[in-house]
Structure 1
Amino acid sequence: MSTHQLISILLVDDDPIFRQGLRTLLEFYSNGKLKFNVVGEAACVDQALKLTKEQHQSLVLLDLELPHEDGISALIRFRERGYSGKILVLSAHHEDEWVFRAMQAGARGYVFKDRLANQLCEAISTVIDDRIYLDPDVATSFFRMFHFYAGRCLQAAQSLHLTEREQEVLHWLVQGASNEAIAQNLYVTVATVKAHLTSIFEKLGVTSRTQAIVKALKLGLVSA
């Protein structure tokens, strides 16, 4: 990382006391080589999405327990809105499922809240340096679920009778690609993509792109 790097950060957590604690911790960790600057705070996903358009933050620190929707849905919405910045999850959830789903939905790292004092600075430095941050315990949780879903993915696709092409379309859909981008990647027409999406929605029992993405991730049909 470069000397005197200023890292602008958006805090997304519905607990103002926790956000203040994060600010204090970030101030403590700021030093000559690494400076943290909190450019905004949000208590819900809608506020966070609004702020990401107004600010030019390098990093979002995201809680997974938010009003009206969980952080997994938030990660998906960030991607759908075209947010290309880095997101580091801070969560009280130690369960394998939460870790795996967060990383699969696009998080660049995952830190347990009870370990922030020891890990936050390293986690931020790692993510800003365009690498993935998972401490050994979190990595174990992730790969435990990865191996579980690797087997389940094939079974789920087969049980839903998804064709190979439909799985490819679903993959690009989860990546946040538009119909036009999917068509270009698969060398087919937009009309063909729309036909595949209609079939996918019917097989998944959903009515929108967001619902399809969420269900595909939950079923382990694709990886983010």
Structure 2
Amino acid sequence: MNVIKTLSILLVDDESRFRQGLKTLLSFYDINDSLSLEVVGEAETQKEALNIAAQLSPDLILLDLELAGGDGITTLVKLKEISYAGKVLVLSGHQEDDWIFRAMQVGAAGYVFKTRLATQLFDAINTVLKSEVYLPAEVASGFFRSFQTSSDSCLQIRRQLHLTEREQEVLNWLTQGASNEEIAKQLYVTVATVKAHLTSIFEKLEVTSRTQAIVAALKLGLIHA
């Protein structure tokens, strides 16, 4: 007899009617005989989303990029900071390459157009559950063009800011939600050295906190998830 596993899902969108429609759509999905879908929470603001994610640790978050009290990109950053270990699938009305690229940069496991939910969501959920990245076929080429452009500009910006290679390494670990102790362990340096690098990074990016540093690095194209 098969043991049925429940996939817990958090819906994050500031429109209640959309969330209700999404729940209805999910109720029709039967991933396979051993997995069921259950919506365990709903949020319409960034603060609510982070609180519920911290309390319930859902397996999957379906996230809109435009929220009351904070955008979806920043929400993705903050989810890393609270060490959220599940998958995040972005559901958005934005189909521009830049929006898609920024979401994937900071940890989204996939990106689905709201106008294509009926045809894309099932495949997207199946894909991210396999720890693979989901991108609609029609935007994949644009995403990789953005990736190449960002890679080229990243080096130029690093030189302009005078970021050292070690500072870039610290910044990369920072975006993954690593603590000072974890960064020190990964780079084989002391915690004091990590703190010194962070101080230098904050000064060069003209920020005062870890979150601000991550968001600034994202806007400048310095980080890639």
Per the normalisation by structure 2, the TM-score is: 0.94
Partners of 1:113 and 1:13 lie apart in 2 by: 11
Unaligned 5+ runs, structure 2 = none
Equivalent residue, structure 1, for 2:79? 78
Q: For residue 7 of structure 2, what is the aligned residue in structure 1?
A: 7
Distance 1:197 1:53 in 2: 26
Deviation at 1:4, TM superposition (A): 4.8
- What SS does structure 1 have at the residue aligned with 2:28? helix
Distance 1:172 1:35 in 2: 34
Contact 1:149 1:220 survives alignment (8 Å): yes
Query: SS in structure 2 opposite 1:133?
Result: coil
Question: Structure 1 unaligned runs (5+)?
Answer: none
Query: What secondary structure sits across from 1:130 in the alignment?
Result: coil
- Give the structure 1 partner of residue 181 of structure 2: 180
Q: In 2, distance between residues paired with 1:43 and 1:222? A: 27
How far off its partner does 1:127 sit?
0.7
Checking the alignment, whether the CA contact within 8 Å between 1:4 and 1:32 is kept in structure 2 is no
Residue matched to 1:138:
139
CA distance in structure 2 between the partners assigned to 1:58 and 1:169 by the alignment:
28
Structure 1 position 67, deviation (Å): 0.7
Report the residue type matching 1:100 in the other structure: F
CA distance in 2, matches of 1:31, 1:98: 28
Q: What RMSD in Å do the two structures reach over aligned CA positions?
A: 1.5
Aligned length: 223
1:20 maps to what in 2? 20
Q: Percent identity?
A: 61
Q: Cα gap change, 1:5/1:56 in structure 2, threshold over 3 Å: closer, same or farther?
A: same
Q: Hey, what does 2:214 align to over in structure 1? A: 213
Shift in CA distance, 84/32, structure 1 to aligned 2, threshold 3 Å: closer
Q: TM-score, normalised by structure 1?
A: 0.95
Within a 5 Å distance, the mapping from 1:187-202 to structure 2 comes to 187-202=188-203
Question: Which amino acid is the alignment partner of residue 205 of structure 1?
Answer: E
CA distance in 1, matches of 2:114, 2:3: 28
